[in-house]
Amino acid sequence: MDRNNRQFYNRQHFHQASEHENCRSHNPHDPRRAACSRCSAHVTQNERVRRFTREKRDQRQRALHQQHEQAQSLRDRSAIAARATRSIPILLRVTADESEESSTLDSSSTSRSSSSMSDVLSKRSKRKRRSAHKSRSGIRGRLDVHKVVRQYPVGAQFHGFTVQRSELVTELDLAAILLKHDDTGCKYLHLARNDTDNVFATLFRTIPEDSTGAPHILEHYVLNGSEKYPIRDALLKMMTRSVYSFMNAFTADDFTLYPFSTTNAKDFKNLQSVYLDGIFRPLLKELDFMQEGWRLEPLKPDDPSNSEYVLKGIVLNEMKGVYSDSFGVMRRKTKMALYPSGPYGHEAGGDPLKIPDLSWEGTKSFYKRNYHPSNAKLFSYGDMPLKDHLEFMKHYLNKFQNKKVPAPRTITEEPRWTEPRELTVYYQENPQSKEGNKAAVAVTYALTPIKNDFENFSLKILSELLVAGPNAPFYKCLQESHLGTGMLSFSGYEGLGNEPYFLIGKFE
């Protein structure tokens, strides 16, 4: 390139460079600047992107504004429809005594209001419909405990039951309904609460007459076949077919309890049917009594003539295990020594040495005297409707309408002692005991009869503060005295019916 051409190129390149440095792309805030020829294509592309972004932003703003207007319109029309709906019951009450034509007119206006309201349901109303659909399909909606109290006023009757008390327990957010069966006198307590884990329990006052273990054997016996479910071990079979959260049966010193719980409504009805049919309609076969209670069985079933016979039975073997615990024997013997003349002087679970004295006929006789609705209490808890429970119960309680109601059994108070007594209990050594066979000593006080539940509960709390834990006064004093190596686990207050006692003891 010659000299002149080189100078022209340099001047042109310099002009383009200076023009680009001063163009709008480098000075976006200066309106006097213009785009240069060098970056015109780049500026055009940027403008296209910015224009597209502005269009999208405007489109979103218009859509949001339209949705806001629609939502506001729906709220306004829903409020109008709600006011119209609230006025419908008043119109119907006013026109209840009018002519048939006016009633027809009111019903047509009601249908128009309902249809208009259904057309303008908000999202909240749709959620309520979905919740109702879930309730029909087994998932229950939220329970209004205030409404439950209003539904069951005192004196109201439902399926043969009369409401005696109806209260709202605000501290626990539940409604407590106490009912009584008109024909049998059976009492029913229902606690309605927003809890899907529903509970049902049947309790009988089974006061033992001796130590043969009739209450304990019956607890096993009644659930071994009923009129509707003639099968053995009904609870055992339900464990593989149910989605229960709890299922069992208990025998205490003066009552027998049959509780279960589940979160599924269908499963609740199945378990309720199995329990109630077994309790009120048992078969009570002799063979089942021999299995659950006691029987003589040869050690060699293949050669019974040349074999020794031993006592066997589910309850018998269970109580043998209970009486193999030395401290358990001490606790039971102490209780029986405190109240020797009353029912607490007997072993409700059964003494292994006296269980063979119970006969099949004696067990059935004990059932007839105690397993009657007049001697029972029913309990339910959860969010399932109480009316469904009452309707289900009437099918079992109606069979007792024409039967004679037995006299209620009572527990007589134990005569007060005039001086202390001393008891020595011997037990058989247990070679399988890890801690060895140790001696123990305890001091027990028979307290005055307590019939107030609140006082009983308060004494239980006081006992825990005095005895339970390493910081409790009794625990610290006994440990520091070095009179033994440990405190008896059953030390403390025991509310035994109306005859409570307090025990404190240690072992070597």
**Residue 339 in contact with residue 447, Cβ under 8 Å?**
no
**Mind giving me the DSSP string for 406-468?**
PPPP--PPPPPPSS-----------TT-TT----EEEEEEEPPP---HHHHHHHHHHHHHHHS
Catalytic annotation present for 419: no
CB atoms within 10 A of CB 330: 22
Torsion of CA 8, 13, 14, 16, to 10 degrees: 130
Q: Residue 444: which residues within 8 A CB-CB, separation 6 or more?
A: 334, 338, 501, 502, 503, 504
Q: Is 232 exposed, middle or buried (0-12, 13-18, 19+ CB in 10 A)?
A: middle
DSSP 344: G
Catalytic residue among 219, 347, 494, 499: 219
Catalytic residue among 292, 347, 494, 499: 292
Rg (CA), the chain: 40
Distance between CA atoms of residues 334 and 344, nearest Å: 11
CB atoms within 10 A of CB 187: 18
Residue from 446, 411, 414 nearest 208 by CA: 411
Catalytic annotation present for 286: no
Q: Residue 266: which residues within 8 A CB-CB, separation 6 or more?
A: 138
Question: Could you list the active site residues?
Answer: 219, 292
